[in-house]
Structure 1
Amino acid sequence: MNRFADDVAIVTGSTRGIGAGVAERLAAEGASVVVSGRSEDDGSDVVETIREAGGSAHFVRADMRDPADIETLVEATVAEFGGLDVLVNNAGVETYTGADEATIDDWSFVVETDFRAFWLAAKHAYEHMDEGAIVNMSSNHSMATTPDIFPYNAVKAGINGMTRAMAVDFGPQVRVNTVAPGWVEVDRTTGDMDEERRRELEGIHPTGRLGSPEDVAGAVAFVASDDAEFVTGSTITVDGGRAAVLQDDFLPDYREER
């Protein structure tokens, strides 16, 4: 498929993990991709991977907590490629603390990176988009959650609502959707996982396995493409059916341990 021929795409937080998988998928389907993140070394590796596969890519360093960096990212993309068609808001962080223990710093850290940055990037991108698509990366934590990851849970739920508001405000020329991944195998989530824990996690997925960056990238490519031209304001869950499974034995054990 070549669904993004002649299109220009920005993928934030794309120096590794899910973001890198999304950048590589869009490039494989014809897009000129701007890889973005804080690590120039990691970003250069992703750009090299894309170019070696015959794609077009360019790295722009950006800290998504810095509003000036966000504006520069969009302006540099337009200057390099002459336009912008797709924005994937993927960069994100989390803090592991509950609502009863979270600090203002914990809250601000996640809100500035995972929420404010999504709005600012979309706002600046929209100014350069005659048509196209914005994809905001959320999480299955936005719909059902686990304890002690309060700021992340709250912000991811907020992203789903922000997407609906953007879809209304940016339409009809720009569509806006959310992709909400579940447990995806990247270094940050499964790098030091033992085999017993892996089997436990696989067992709560109807698909019988954990997700991959490629699984998420496929969903992003769909909602960003013309194949989804009548889809906007929606949240697409990519979690192997995990959210469909009742895990009613979890909370009692957790509360006893706590």
Structure 2
Amino acid sequence: MKIDDSKNKQDLQQLIDTQQFVEHISVDCTIFGFDNGILKVLLLKYHDLDVWSLPGGFIFNDEDLSDAASRVLFERTHLSDTFLEQFHTFGQINRTANNAHQILLKHKNIEVPPDHWIFQRFITVGYCSLIDFNLAGTFPNSLNETCAWFEVNKLPKLAFDHERIIEVGLNHIRKNIDTQIVANNLLPEKFTMKDLQTVYETVLDEKYRRNNFQRKILALNILERLEKFFDGSANKAPYLYRFRRKN
């Protein structure tokens, strides 16, 4: 699916002309997906540019930061009702030195004063989430023509400091894997210990012995054991579990 170029240019012109954004602050969403034992990140490709980026955007003057993150994610990817967690603020002086916006506007023959706010220093607030790979129904818009998943260790050329944002976001996910990030987004309500172990091994990029993993998880006291799962095979039926409900 391609965007009409004249409409694309018009949308970009309106974006840079608006006075409704908070200058010098943006949000970037790092969305990780779990796909058949492989951890991936959702990226967008700029029109006419051989560079990819995280779903990100600007904040309206009358908008809360968390609301801006949810809105931007929906506008860029069509993902809605996604649990987003703020994980870091990125404020290096040269983080936007490779200004993809400037290249993009030049390609579209849109003239912008060199002192325009879109070319100046930006501090961005990172949000992250870990979701079911199959939930993302993405679509192109005026800024990006392609949405695609990439393995976290096989990233394409990225705009700005987005490679570092992904790295920091992944570390945050790994440090907080025992929280609601996994419980709310990756597994069905009932799952086996093997299902949970697969998620942990994929996210943490390490292998566990089955008994050691089960001992570790049960010690956290975050699971409730349910009935056994009978699938008709000759193998011993495993127990089903679910995460304990919060009071």
Q: TM-score, normalised by structure 2?
A: 0.26
Larger relative helix fraction: 1
Larger relative strand fraction: 2
Of the two structures, which has the highest relative contact order with CA contacts closer than 8 Å and spacing of 6 or more?
2
Larger C-alpha radius of gyration, 1 or 2? Answer: 2
